[in-house]
Chains A and B, each alone.
Chain A
Amino acid sequence: MKIQYVATGIAATFTLLSTSSAFAVTEISWWHAMTGANNEVVETLSKEFNESQSEYKIVPVFKGTYPEALNAGIAAFRAKQPPHILQVFDVGTGVMMAAEGAVKPVAEILSMGGSTFDKSQYLPGIVAYYSKPDGTMLSFPYNSSSPILYYNKDIFQKAGLDVDNPPKTWPEVWEAAKKIKTSGAASCGYTSTWLTWIHTENFAAWNNLQYGTQENGLAGTDVELKINSPVFVKHFQELADLAKDGTFKYGGRTSEAKQVFLSGECGILTESSGGLGDIVKSGMNYGIGQLPYEPTAEGAPQNTIPGGASLWVFGGKSDEEYKGVAAFFQFLSQTEIQARLHQVSGYLPVTMAAYEETKKSGFYEKNPGRETPIQQMMGKEPTENSKGVRLVNLPQVRDIQNEEYEKMLAGEQTAQQALDNAVSRGNAAIQQAIGN
């Protein structure tokens, strides 16, 4: 009996000792939603950070798709055990911003790390999107992207189109798509991922059209949608008409259409710049162009708005832990890291220095088109219509839009009906979400 007690005692002492030595390293949990090549980047970054110093340890945890990761974070917060860092996709931005008291602004955390936070270091278009109306940056932009146009050069050649000049406006895209289809170069001319993000939110910003009141939600939450104005209706009716004979092919609500392009079924694709990795991997003879604009819209092209995801920090942690988070964000902001992330993944660099560095290295000359998403976003000073779209329930509003677009593309309703329905249903949902 006695020996057993002594043995338990020793074991307990050892456990105590080993845990107390582990306490010397502050663990920082990072929940993310990155898969495949992008997941490898997350793992590498964490490993490099952990090896670069001995005080903090970043522990990355994969939490499923973007919506799943957001939900996991919210559930953990409700259970009073949130992670330190949560990666939230662009549409979740409004959700997180509405949760004042649950999150700690990144600007505050960075200054806790000792160094003062200098906003001008970061790309203005991206910082504006992740900041409060008063300019406080709330989350750390990790992977930002912008929609661009990809085209299959082999199909262009076969169809007798100019391989070096991708279409610049929507009417030019329709012409090229029809030519691809009628010449038999491919069975479909044009396809697009994310009709909500590319053809609605970015269509509005790029053509300087109002998406909703209150500066598209950046100035306040009580937003009324405006996406049934004539230019939108014209654009969507053209899409619906092209869908009838298969010149435009619908792939699905998110990024499914990329497969249709990769398989060579369609000649032109509009997709996030973050989708570049897969297209490079496929070995296709591809080209990149700007996101097309609508020539009848005044002031087009304006600027595109960022997509992707940012890192949010939950409140209620100790100062020591926040210092660790700050150290990690400092690490991520290093020019060398940012430049590498940008060049490997097709996501945009977050800091000006990384952009300049990549430019100087001659990367853009060797890889034509890779600067396009940055130029699109930085080309002009953003207007009220083009700073971004922020709704407390953007995921739901996108769902409604998708449903109406699908009915339109199936020929059950016209573009005018689809957009009118999307506006009235969307407005009702927004009113409910803000508690009216």
Chain B
Amino acid sequence: MALSFRRRKSLSPRVVFPNRILPYLLVAPQLAITAVFFYWPASQALYQSALREDPFGLSSKFVWFDNFVRVLSDPNYVNSVQVTAVFSLATALVAMAVALLLAVMADKVIRGRGIYRTLMIWPYAVAPAIAGMLWLFLFNPSIGTLAYGLRWLGIAWNPLLDGGDAMVLVVAAAAWKQISYNFLFFVAGLQAIPKTLIEAAAIDGAGETKRFWTIIFPLLAPTTFFLLVINTTYAFFDTFGIIHAVTGGGPGKATETLVYKVYNDGFVNLILGDSAAQSVILMAIVIALTAFQFRFVERKVHYG
């Protein structure tokens, strides 16, 4: 099969395929995957969100937007929105700040650089649920090693009953797992910064802190922005396993994020309509968030 294409005479960089069908054939597998794994379930969720059904699907009633009205007027849902905001912000901030600090430190190391970096990347390979269990064991008020230390320091540590403690625990576990990923990108970003700029600043008499904030940090902006998007979506969607393993949304509803609530209402409480309505809202939030980030935040990012 000979693949031939020619450039237009106008020297436009666009590639033109003479064959009309072949391009469609080439993208067909990707389209099929998107259709089966995204559009189809998404449309099912949309349909389900307008139904009121018993768990077994034996009787169902079309109720238009009733489920949305109920979900949005539920104070527990509002609570869940707040919890998600706090959790996502804290997780993204902690994960990125710590990763940046470590990356800057690792950049300075000359001997054994490779070993440090490899070790730093390891936690990324740990599954969320396992990461959750690790932190749970460390901080379990009865048997946790670190919980024992906290108690010894006189801190009343009880994530089983104290909502704040529980939040700290899930944020720590979620951030810890994401630090490695962020670290990797920050290291790469740091390496891309021309040494001459930093040296010039050093000759001009700028101290280390000054150099970081005026040269390195602004030049890292594209990486930081990219990671901000990735970390927010991570905190939104990929932390279910951690919350499920560590707190189960409790105590009270202190760590029930939007995603956890979708699961809890749908799979534990078996209220399928409410659960579907929540996932539709979640879908809208994510689309809006991503669009916002790319349209408004990205413009202000300086790509060197």
A77-B56, A250-B160 as given contacts; A403 in contact with B253, CB under 8 Å: yes
Contacts of B253 in A (CB 8 A): 403
A410 to B164, alpha carbons, bound, how many Å? Answer: 11
Shortest C-beta distance, A227 to chain B (Å), equals: 18
CB <8 Å contact, A396 and B56: no
Most buried by A among B55, B58, B161: B55
Shortest C-beta distance, B61 to chain A (Å), equals: 8
CB <8 Å contact, B250 and A102: no
Contacts of B70 in A (CB 8 A): 432
- Which residues 144-166 in B have Cβ within 8 Å of A in the complex? 160-163
With CB as the reference atom, state the residue of chain B lying closest to A92.
Answer: B270
A224 interface residue (CB < 8 Å to B) = no
CB <8 Å contact, A253 and B269: no
Shortest C-beta distance, B156 to chain A (Å), equals: 10
A67-B268, A410-B163 as given contacts; A263 in contact with B142, CB under 8 Å: yes
A78 to B54, alpha carbons, bound, how many Å? Answer: 11
Shortest C-beta distance, A334 to chain B (Å), equals: 32
Most buried by B among A100, A393, A399: A399
Contacts of A395 in B (CB 8 A): 268-270
Q: Scoring B residues 39 to 70 as 1 if CB is less than 8 Å from chain A, else 0, what string do you get? A: 00000000000001011111000000000001
With CB as the reference atom, state the residue of chain A lying closest to B266.
Answer: A71
Contacts of A6 in B (CB 8 A): none
User: Which label, helix, strand, loop or mixed, suits the secondary structure of the B interface?
Assistant: loop
Total residues of chain B contacting the partner, CB 8 A: 24
CB <8 Å contact, A406 and B252: yes
Contacts of B252 in A (CB 8 A): 403-404, 406-407, 410, 412
A39 to B249, alpha carbons, bound, how many Å? Answer: 28
A67 to B270, alpha carbons, bound, how many Å? Answer: 10
Contacts of A433 in B (CB 8 A): 271
CB <8 Å contact, A252 and B268: no
A95 to B56, alpha carbons, bound, how many Å? Answer: 9
Contacts of B54 in A (CB 8 A): 98-99
B58 touches which one: A102, A407, A429 (CB < 8 A)? A102
Shortest C-beta distance, A45 to chain B (Å), equals: 28
Q: Scoring A residues 48 to 85 as 1 if CB is less than 8 Å from chain B, else 0, what string do you get? A: 00000000000000000001000100100110000000
3 residue pairs, one from A and one from B, having the closest CB atoms = A396-B269, A406-B251, A410-B161
Chain A to chain B contacts (Cβ below 8 Å), 19 pairs: A78-B56, A99-B54, A102-B56, A249-B142, A251-B142, A259-B142, A259-B143, A393-B269, A395-B269, A395-B270, A396-B268, A396-B270, A402-B250, A403-B251, A404-B252, A406-B160, A410-B251, A432-B70, A433-B271
